[in-house]
Structure 1
Amino acid sequence: MRNETRGTLELILAMVLSGTLGVFVVESGASPFTVVFFRCLFGAVALGAYGLARGFFAGHGFTAGKLGLAVLGGVFIVGNWVLLFEAYEVTSISFATVVYHTQPFFLVLLGAAVLRERIGRATVGWLVVAFAGLVLVSGVRPGDTASVVGLGLALAAAVLYAVATVVTKRISGVRPHLIALVQVTVGIPLLLPFVDFGEAAGLGAGWGWLAGLGLLHTGVMYVLMYAAYAKLPTARIAVLAFTYPAVAMLADWLVYGHHIGLVQALGVPLIVLAGLRVTRARGAAPAPRTGAHAGAGASRVATRSA
């Protein structure tokens, strides 16, 4: 019981960190490509140092095939971050985060299409509920270009995240920290041509926010997540994972005064409840964005945080 209590506290802290991610992105003042590049750079340093200190590189378990899958998953993860961070700018952290949490449903659909997994009637019902929630949350009105674009970006990010999860689930026998390290490292050469170093040079205090994204939201957060996953049952992980969108919406309101409207608010519990039911029904614990949010013990779980 003491072990589960510690795991619960670790996961709550990880989800609280994840919920503040949007504020760090916006406050950095950098463009999405630049933000993701430095998140990958600082994150690789943090995860690499942790892996070295823990001796994870000895007997790492990678083969050429597993490494290739980790790299491929990294491409989708990095693209997912770019789209999500762009959605923050176009709309708001609250809106983008809620829409982004349609991830479990895309994962179910991909599982059926790619892995030939059967979708039960109950799951189909929850997918319908989630879609109704999404329609309410979107609150898109004729001529509201920002909402339409933001909705599209957040949904596209969720799709890439789901694809990354399907790819990463095929990796076994490798610590999730090392899979995460490979995936963030992939982002460095991948995004290098798109980084505006002139913009980066003038960020000033923005560098602190960028460093936080890599060291806290990629290094510390993933270490806490993977430690918690080893101590907690799937059902509790699935419930606690929804601390992330709750904190994100609270942070968006406290820092920027953004909040969703009444009609949009009616859609939030529909998406959250449907996501929780689908996640628990699949017996999958949410894992982080870089190891796809997945890896060794986490390579068999669906990812959850941004």
Structure 2
Amino acid sequence: MNTSSMIKLTLSMAIFGSIGFFTIHTGLPAIELVFVRCICATLFLGGLWLLTGGHKTEQWDKREVIKTCICGIFIVLNWVFLFKAFEVMSISIAISIYNLAPIFVLMLGSVLLAEKMGVRSILATVVCFLGSILIVGIDNFSSISQFMNSGFVWALLSAICYALTMFTSKTIHGLSSYALTFIQTTVGIVMLFPLCDFTVFDGLTTTNWLYILGTGFIHTGFVYYLFFDSIRDLPTVIVSVLVFVDPVVAILLDAILLSFRPSMLQILGIVLIFGSIIYTVFYPDQKVQKVQPDS
């Protein structure tokens, strides 16, 4: 077992777990924050790519570049929707729904690749759905307006885009991790530039900018570096366990620093979601290659 890689992956997941806390202190709406995040990550990871000389040995394939661009669209939408969820709902609730992505990967495989979902996978999906209803609150489903304003839709869309990111990335094999991420974040810059309202940057404090740059350089650039530098040396089962450090840290920070106090039904919902996901990861219906998520 590579202890150094385990420490790197654990650290990357723990840092990413604090992204919700950083996000709500940036003072920026979701689109503008993701735009800055993409710029910071492109500079950080692009610089590392050049310094390590990886750009000189990169094997370019037109089809893989196109797939990476599509994957970039999904990952940027994933970030935007997740940050919009943070704006209107608790970080713990948003992160719990966000981590439904592995269940959506199963569903996509069933629909697009004709991979049969067994009884256990179907049961896990139903349990996750029930858990989602419990943590958002049954009352929020009593009317369309309450449902739309609850943030559930944004969090669910972020999970779907996260799943599409994982699903698309499993077909990309030739590009290095640096090239993959550089293309994805560059796509994000081009995609979000026309949508940004640059007046929102007026009046930001020094503290706001520290959180903004932290979200860009630390949560995106540094975390991506640690993540990709560690997973190649670790068994899939270890990676599958350590990625759960992310939601655990997020929920703990929400409870300790932001005074989130879940009700008994919300606690039950969180347990149902993560219990079903862990069960699905470690006891799949059939032996398929697991795909590790982009952080």
Bigger shift: residues 248-257 or 126-135: 126-135
Question: Partners of 2:166 and 2:154 in 1: how far apart?
Answer: 18
Structure 1 runs (4+) greater than 3 angstroms displaced: 146-149, 282-285
Q: Which residue of 1 aligns with 2:232?
A: 230
> Aligned partners of 1:140, 1:193: CA distance in 2, in Å?
38
Percentage of identical aligned residues: 33
Following TM superposition, by how much is the alpha carbon of 1:202 offset from its aligned partner in structure 2, in angstroms? Answer: 2.1
Counterpart mapping for 1:134-149 below 5 A: 134-141=132-139, 142=142, 145=146, 149=150
Give the partner amino acid of 1:203.
L
5 Å-filtered alignment, 1:45-64, equals 45-64=43-62
CA shift, 1:165, in A, is 1.9
The equivalent of 1:104 in structure 2 is 102
| Corresponding position of 2:270 | 268
Aligned-residue offset at 1:255: 2.3
Alignment partners' CA distance in 1, 2:110 and 2:78: 21
| 2:92 corresponds to | 94
The separation in 2 between residues aligned to 1:127 and 1:240, in whole angstroms, is 22
Paired with 2:56 and 2:93, the residues of 1 have a C-alpha distance of: 43
Q: Residues of 1 paired with 2:289 and 2:79: CA distance?
A: 22
Please give the alpha-carbon distance, in whole angstroms, between the structure 2 residues aligned to 1:176 and 1:115. 25
Match of 1:248 among 242, 246, 250: 250
1:41 aligned to 39, 42, 57, which one?
A: 39
Please state how far the C-alpha of 1:182 moved relative to its aligned partner. 0.7
Q: Deviations over 1:198-226 (max 9, x none)?
A: 21132122121111111111111111111
- TM-score, L = length of structure 2: 0.92
The answer on whether the counterparts of 2:81 and 2:155 sit within 8 Å (CA) in structure 1 is: yes
1:291 is matched with none
In the TM superposition, residue 247 of structure 1 has moved relative to its aligned partner by: 0.6
Instruction: Tell me the equivalent position of 2:163.
Output: 162
User: 2:72 touches 2:183 (CA, 8 Å); kept in 1?
Assistant: yes
State the alpha-carbon separation in 2 of the partners of residues 304 and 133 from structure 1: 24
Cα deviation per residue 1:87-135 (whole Å; 9 max; x = unaligned)? 0011111110011111011111011111222222222222222222222
Letter matched to residue 29 of structure 2: S
SS at match of 1:57: helix
Query: For each residue in 1:166-196, what CA deviation from the matched residue of structure 2 results, as whole angstroms up to 9, or x when unmatched?
Result: 2222111211221111111111111112222
Q: Distance in 2 between matches of 1:6 and 1:276?
A: 25
1:24-55 superposed Cα distances (whole Å, 9 cap, x missing partner): 11110101111000000001101101111111
- Asked whether the 8 Å contact 2:61–2:174 carries over to 1, the reply is no
The change in CA–CA distance for 1:271 and 1:253 in structure 2 (over 3 A counts) is same
- Asked if 1 retains the 8 angstrom alpha-carbon contact of 2:64 and 2:174, the reply is no
Match of 2:128 among 120, 127, 130: 130
Unpaired runs of 5+ in structure 1? 286-300
Aligned residue in 2 for 1:303? 293
Deviation at 1:73, TM superposition (A): 0.9
1:148 deviates by 5.3
- 1:258 partner SS: coil
Q: Does 1:179 align with 2:180?
A: yes
- Residue by residue over 1:215-249, the C-alpha shift from the partner in whole angstroms, topping out at 9 and shown as x without a partner, is 11111111111122122211111111111111111
- Higher relative CO (Cα under 8 Å, sequence separation at least 6) belongs to 2
Deviates more, 1:114-123 or 1:186-195: 114-123
Which of 7, 25, 32 is matched with 2:30 structurally?
32
Q: C-alpha separation between the residues in 1 aligned to 2:117 and 2:163? A: 16
What is the rounded CA distance, in whole Å, between the counterparts of 1:23 and 1:6 in structure 2? 27
TM alignment of 1:108-123, pairs within 5 A: 108-123=106-121
The SS at the match of 2:117 is coil
Normalised to the residue count of structure 1, the TM-score between the two structures is: 0.89
* 1:193 matched residue in structure 2: 194
Name 2:214's counterpart in structure 1. Answer: 212
Distance across 2 between alignment mates of 1:284 and 1:9: 24
Distance 1:147 1:190, change over 3 A: closer
Matched residues, number: 288
